[in-house]
């Protein structure tokens, strides 16, 4: 089965990210299985430490039935001075399996908000049960002088992907793109859940 051609705007966004775009295109093309792309978002992350620079790109692609995630990372085990290697992974999640599609928005000058004003930051949190985060803390009683051990409490959060895009860091255009993608994803998940109940 031949690979499906990707939409030009997705190819352009992968090339603009500048991090092994042909490799990411290949991963996505072999994952579509003939489904058209309804929406997408490409996110590039760069982490700098004392010894090296690590890059990571994630492509989010929405189809009629699935959310595709393609990740490309620098190989963390590459020897210094060796030829670069990239590590890839891809995942597809059926839309009705997405348990959480949480969209957070930050607005500048909220007192002057008018319908249609664009957020200056958007966060997108997705969960489908693949990963859980535990936050633990020591329990305490009401006595500030108590030295007793009261054990630990905590919370378990289902959080498979958390993405934050801000105008200050990535530009307003990137914020607008993630806001548009998040709206289309939420609508697609809503309709997928309706269909699954019939």
Mean pLDDT for all residues in the chain: 85
Domain extent listing, the chain: 1-94, 95-197
pTM value? Answer: 0.79
Closest by CA position to 91, among listed 158, 42, 31: 31
63's tokens: 């189809």
Pairwise CA distance, residues 184 & 64, whole Å: 11
Q: How many CB atoms lie within 10 A of CB 188?
A: 21
Model confidence at 158: pLDDT above 60: no
Contact yes or no for 20/65 (Cβ under 8 A): no
Please write the tens of the pLDDT for every residue from 104-156.
Answer: 999 999 999 999 999 999 999 998 875 444 555 567 777 778 777 766 665 54
- CA of 175: how far to CAs of 105, 120, 155, in Å? 10, 7, 30
Cα–Cα distance, 60 to 1 (Å, whole number): 23
Tokens linked to 56: 């990571």
Of the given ranges (36-40, 55-59, 153-157), which has the lowest mean pLDDT? 153-157
């Amino acid at each position: 089965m031949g690979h499906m051609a990707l939409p030009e705007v997705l190819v352009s966004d992968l090339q603009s990210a500048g991090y092994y775009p042909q490799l990411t295109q290949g991963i996505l093309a072999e994952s579509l299985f003939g489904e058209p792309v309804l929406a997408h978002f490409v996110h590039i992350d760069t982490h700098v430490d004392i010894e090296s620079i690590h890059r990571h790109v994630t492509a989010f692609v929405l189809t009629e039935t699935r959310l595709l995630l393609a990740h490309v990372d620098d190989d963390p085990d590459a020897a210094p001075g060796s030829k670069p290697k990239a590590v890839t992974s891809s995942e597809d999640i059926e839309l009705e399996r997405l348990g959480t599609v949480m969209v957070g928005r930050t607005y500048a000058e909220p007192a002057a908000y008018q319908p249609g004003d664009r957020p200056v930051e958007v966060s997108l949190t997705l969960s489908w049960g693949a990963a859980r985060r535990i936050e633990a803390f020591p329990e305490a009683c009401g006595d500030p002088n108590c030295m007793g051990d009261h054990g630990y409490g905590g919370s378990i959060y289902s959080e498979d992907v958390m993405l934050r895009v801000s105008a200050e860091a990535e530009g307003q255009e990137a914020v607008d793109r993630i806001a548009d993608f998040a709206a289309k994803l939420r609508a697609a998940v809503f309709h997928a859940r309706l269909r699954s109940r019939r």
